[in-house]
């Protein structure tokens, strides 16, 4: 899909088969899962090749951030799929020249949808390529910060479930609840990992962008980029904090599981100790020797039962007094 943003650009996808060339008034060229025809039109406009999907997937910095023929090629990982419950990140390529911005992507994250609507509603936002690019990055960073806030609230809810909820429950914990708790921590870690990937990638791109001569000569956009760099570094620090907090909660939940297992083993051990003396007494009086004094004793049977009962009650009372039960 090909969309154009700029003066007199229609707010609808363009059919590449009906165009011989893109209009010069197009400031931002957005390629979503582009076809060969759409890539060819964009290449004619910017005068350089468009990165392929395989090239965008490369992770080494030299393949993601470089300059070629007067154009800056930048690739960053962007978070998507949060609303659908399947968070993931995918690479998006940016080609910035003095007059045009080309975005190449195979995902459709929320910041692109929102920013495109703003540009269509206010065409003056697409006054020049650098301004469009910086404001698009601003939208991505802003959305990323919102998702970090949601992740932080989820981690706080997990902490409340582990500690505050546990304090008002008995020491026996249902296995299903502990399993659900671990699953919730795992999902939070999955989201946080994708958030951190986007945050680190954004920091690298913004640092590279701030070093470009074209940005250095643009005072307004330079200050905006410097502000975004500071925001990205702050998000990196916040992601480290959330990661450490989530690791602590995972250790705490595993500790609760260990306590639960120890409690079960302790109960079994005490039950074994309580039943051991009665078993011994029953074993003794279950012997069929001819000369046993209690065999002919009238009170022998009640005596054996009472002795077994006493031998079971005494260890139980001792365990209760010591707080083992």
Domains of the chain: 2-261 (3.30.460.20), 266-321 (1.20.58.340)
pLDDT of 314: 83
Question: Listing from the earlier edge strand, what are the strands of the sheet with 2-5?
Answer: 2-5, 28-32, 101-105, 88-96, 71-80, 65-68
Bridge partners of residue 88, in order along the sequence: 80
Cα distance between residue 260 and residue 254, in whole Å: 10
DSSP 8-class letter at 289: -
Instruction: Determine the average pLDDT of the residues in 130-136.
Output: 92
pTM, to two decimals: 0.78
Cα distance between residue 300 and residue 285, in whole Å: 10
Give the tens place of pLDDT for each residue, 68-122: 888 899 999 998 888 777 888 899 999 998 888 999 999 989 899 898 888 888 8
Q: Which residues, 6 or more positions from 44, have their beta carbon under 8 angstroms from its beta carbon?
A: 21, 22
Distance of CA 82 to the CA centre of its chain: 9
What share of the chain in percent tops pLDDT 70?
Answer: 94
Tokens of 259: 């306590």
Instruction: Determine the average pLDDT of the residues in 239-249.
Output: 93
Which residue, 209, 78, 198, is CA-closest to 131? Answer: 209
pLDDT of 197: 92
What are the residue ranges of helices labelled H in 65-174?
Answer: 110-121, 129-159, 165-167
Between residues 311 and 229, the one the model is more confident about: 229
pLDDT of 121: 80
Cα distance between residue 224 and residue 228, in whole Å: 6
> How does 237-272 read in b/e, with b if 16+ C-beta sit within 10 Å?
ebbeebbebbeebbebbeebbeebeeeeeeeeebee
What band does 20 get if pLDDT is binned at 50, 70 and 90? low
Tokens of 240: 């480290």
Least-confidence region, from 103-112, 120-129, 149-158:
120-129
Cα distance between residue 241 and residue 234, in whole Å: 11
The three-class DSSP label of residue 209 is: helix
Q: Is the pLDDT of residue 123 over 80?
A: no
- Structure-token match 């399947």, residue found: 86
Cα distance between residue 39 and residue 41, in whole Å: 5
Beta strands in the chain (DSSP E): 2-5, 28-32, 65-68, 71-80, 88-96, 101-105
Which residue, 266, 201, 228, 260, is CA-closest to 139? Answer: 228
Q: Is the pLDDT of residue 167 over 60?
A: no
pLDDT of 169: 52
Cα distance between residue 86 and residue 241, in whole Å: 23
Which residue, 276, 303, 278, is CA-closest to 292? Answer: 303
What band does 154 get if pLDDT is binned at 50, 70 and 90? very high
């Amino acid at each position: 899909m090909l969309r154009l943003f700029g003066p007199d650009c229609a707010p609808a996808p363009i059919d590449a088969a009906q165009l011989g060339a893109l209009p010069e008034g197009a400031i931002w060229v957005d390629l979503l899962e582009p076809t060969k025809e759409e890539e060819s039109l964009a290449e004619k406009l910017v005068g350089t090749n468009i990165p392929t999907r395989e090239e965008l997937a490369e992770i080494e910095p030299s393949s993601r951030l470089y300059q070629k023929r007067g154009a800056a090629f930048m690739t960053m990982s962007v978070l998507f799929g949060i609303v659908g419950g399947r968070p993931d990140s995918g690479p998006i390529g940016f080609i910035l020249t003095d007059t045009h911005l080309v975005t190449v992507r195979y995902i459709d994250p929320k910041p692109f949808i929102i920013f495109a609507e703003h540009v269509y509603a206010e065409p003056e936002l697409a006054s020049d390529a650098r301004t469009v690019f910086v404001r698009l990055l601003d939208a991505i960073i802003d959305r990323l910060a919102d998702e970090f806030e949601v992740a932080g609230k989820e981690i706080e809810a997990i902490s409340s479930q582990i500690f505050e909820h546990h304090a008002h429950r008995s020491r026996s914990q249902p296995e299903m609840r502990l399993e659900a708790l671990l699953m919730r921590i795992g999902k939070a870690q999955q989201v946080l990992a994708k958030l951190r990937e986007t945050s680190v990638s954004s920091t690298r791109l913004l640092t590279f962008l701030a070093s470009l001569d074209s940005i250095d000569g643009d005072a307004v956009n330079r200050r905006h980029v410097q502000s975004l760099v500071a925001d990205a570094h702050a998000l990196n620090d916040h992601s480290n904090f959330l990661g450490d907090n989530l690791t602590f909660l995972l250790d705490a939940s595993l500790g609760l599981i260990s306590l639960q297992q120890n409690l079960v083993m302790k109960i079994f051990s005490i039950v074994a100790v309580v039943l051991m003396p009665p078993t011994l007494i029953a074993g003794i009086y279950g012997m069929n020797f001819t000369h046993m004094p209690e065999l002919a004793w009238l009170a022998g049977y009640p005596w054996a039962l009472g002795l077994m009962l006493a031998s079971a009650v005494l260890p139980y009372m001792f365990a209760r007094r010591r707080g083992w039960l």
